[in-house]
Amino acid sequence: MSEIFRLERTRNYLQPGDVGAAVRLWRNHVGRSERELWHDYEWGNAHWYCCGSPLEARALLDTLTSALSRRSARELHLVIDRLDGFRNRPSPPYEAGEG
């Protein structure tokens, strides 16, 4: 945690709280339903302009893992991988007669 705080203070592309905001954005994004994610993919999401893009947040998290020490990067990867697991979960099968 202290290494992340240090990076937020010393890097010109980060401000205090950016890493926590990126994790929150990504967590909220991967927790959405497939229908909502598909709608965002097709039509975009107007809230991303004011509140931040979860895809940019995910890219920032990837960038941070290369700037952190191995131990801290591993800990951040555990959080990211757990969240990515929600995104890659399989869809429930359709029942006969649905669709």
Tokens of 2: 């202290």
Looking at residue 9, its pLDDT comes to 92
DSSP state of 43: H
Q: Show the domain range for 73.
A: 2-87
Of 2, 25, 11, the residue nearest 64 (C-alpha): 11
Of 94, 97, 83, 71, the residue nearest 31 (C-alpha): 83
Asked whether residue 77 is assigned to any structural domain, the reply reads yes
Asked whether residue 96 is assigned to any structural domain, the reply reads no
Check: CB of residue 43 under 8 Å from CB of residue 81: no
Q: Is the pTM of this model over 0.85?
A: no
Distance CA 54, CA 57 (A): 5
Asked whether residue 39 is assigned to any structural domain, the reply reads yes
Asked whether residue 34 is assigned to any structural domain, the reply reads yes
Number of domains in the chain: 1
Asked whether residue 79 is assigned to any structural domain, the reply reads yes
pLDDT in tens, 30-54: 888 777 877 777 777 767 777 888 8
Asked whether residue 30 is assigned to any structural domain, the reply reads yes
pLDDT of 64 strictly over 80: yes
* Sign of the alpha-carbon dihedral angle for 28, 32, 38, 42: negative
Asked whether residue 92 is assigned to any structural domain, the reply reads no
Looking at residue 73, its pLDDT comes to 92
CA-to-CA dists, residue 21 to 34, 58, 90, angstroms: 23, 11, 27
pLDDT of 59 strictly over 90: yes
Asked whether residue 24 is assigned to any structural domain, the reply reads yes
